[in-house]
Amino acid sequence: MPRPIRKAVFPVAGLGTRFLPATKAMPKEMLTVVDRPLIQVVVDEAREAGIEHFIFVTGRNKSVIEDHFDKQYELESTLRKRGKSTELDMLEMDLPGAGETSFTRQQEPLGLGHAVWCARHLVGNEPFAVILPDMIMKASPGCLAQMVSVYNERNGGNVIAVEETPWEHVHRYGVVGGTDWKANHFTITQMVEKPKREAAPSNLIISGRYILQPEIFEILDKKEAGAGGEIQITDAMKKLMEAQPFHGVRYEGTTYDCGDKVGFLAANVALALEREDIAPAFRDVLDQIISTHGGKLTWD
């Protein structure tokens, strides 16, 4: 068996400019899908995949994330006095155990690669996962759990979750090409950041979940800036690919890009419709909203 994936890095130091003014004083990662903050949703996914240590790379205005993963004694005692045992149990279940979280700061948002590099001492010399909290993957088993299965099956290496996107959108993303196709995974042979449609090796995009070997830190140490002047994780992975295998996982599930307003709204609608406690009432409201807008979802 390859070395287990025990640690996950959550880069949460970005500015969240696409969500201003909501993100002026509040981190994007605390935006909620129905009633769960994005960061809680991805921590749940990591726990399901067997992660034991949760490393948050934070920035300014992000201390609320640290508070979220702490006990709130006043709140808990009030809930206890009021006999709100369901809410108390939920808070208890959501909380990682004592000593299972670490927080470090990315002092300047110099890019995703730089954010991951900031976690190097906390990760140490072992393979680890990176989870982007604004990409919500609705899947069962969860996306990271599916990736860990492939990691074990392929006896280690690096693993990236990928998904299909319409060809006309490939220029917005990191795109991979591959060989040796199996049911849900393949060997990655090419990685291109934001290619033109004609230059894209496929329409499979890198979608926010990675399992990486610690040698990535030696590459990120060089702090080479790429697209947009940022230190890009894709550039570092491309270099690492010269020395180590990379496996792509076409995970089964649906992705919601919650860093984007439409993706975020879609996640809220889709996940609300899956919640037994609110779905019937929400469906009625949604029907009403749609009928007051001409009975259809598009306007002409």
CB neighbour burial string for 120-141, b if at least 16 within 10 angstroms, e if fewer? bebbeeebbbbbbbbbbbbbeb
Residue placing its CB nearer to ligand UTP in the complex, 105 or 293: 105
Contacts with 199 (C-beta within 8 Å, 6 or more apart), sequence order: 192
- Per the listing, tokens 């270099």 go with 239
Residue ranges in the chain assigned as alpha helix (H): 38-48, 63-68, 73-81, 85-94, 112-117, 120-123, 143-153, 216-220, 233-240, 261-273, 279-292
Q: Indicate which single residue of 109, 177, 245, 253 sits in contact with ligand UTP (rule: CB under 6 A).
A: 109
Q: Evaluate whether 213 touches 125 at the Cβ level (below 8 Å).
A: no
Smallest separation (angstroms) from ligand UTP to the CB of 114: 6
Site for ligand UTP in 191-210 (CB under 6 A): none
DSSP code per residue over 227-254: GGGS--HHHHHHHHTTTS-EEEEE-SSE
The site map against ligand UTP for 55-74 (x = CB under 6 A) is --x-----------------
115 binds ligand UTP (CB under 6 A): yes
Q: Indicate which single residue of 5, 12, 55, 212 sits in contact with ligand UTP (rule: CB under 6 A).
A: 12
# residues contacting ligand UTP (CB under 6 A)? 21
Q: Indicate which single residue of 18, 36, 60, 68 sits in contact with ligand UTP (rule: CB under 6 A).
A: 18
Smallest separation (angstroms) from ligand UTP to the CB of 131: 9
- Per the listing, tokens 């989870």 go with 131
Q: Indicate which single residue of 132, 143, 161, 240 sits in contact with ligand UTP (rule: CB under 6 A).
A: 132
Smallest separation (angstroms) from ligand UTP to the CB of 192: 18
Question: Is 189 in a helix, a strand, or coil?
Answer: strand
Smallest separation (angstroms) from ligand UTP to the CB of 70: 20
CA-based radius of gyration for the chain? 20
133 binds ligand UTP (CB under 6 A): yes
286 binds ligand UTP (CB under 6 A): no
Smallest separation (angstroms) from ligand UTP to the CB of 91: 24
Residue type, 119: A
Closest by CA to 148, choosing from 184, 199, 107, 104, is 184
The residues that touch ligand UTP, with contacts defined as CB under 6 A, are: 11-18, 28, 57, 106, 109-112, 114-115, 132-134, 259
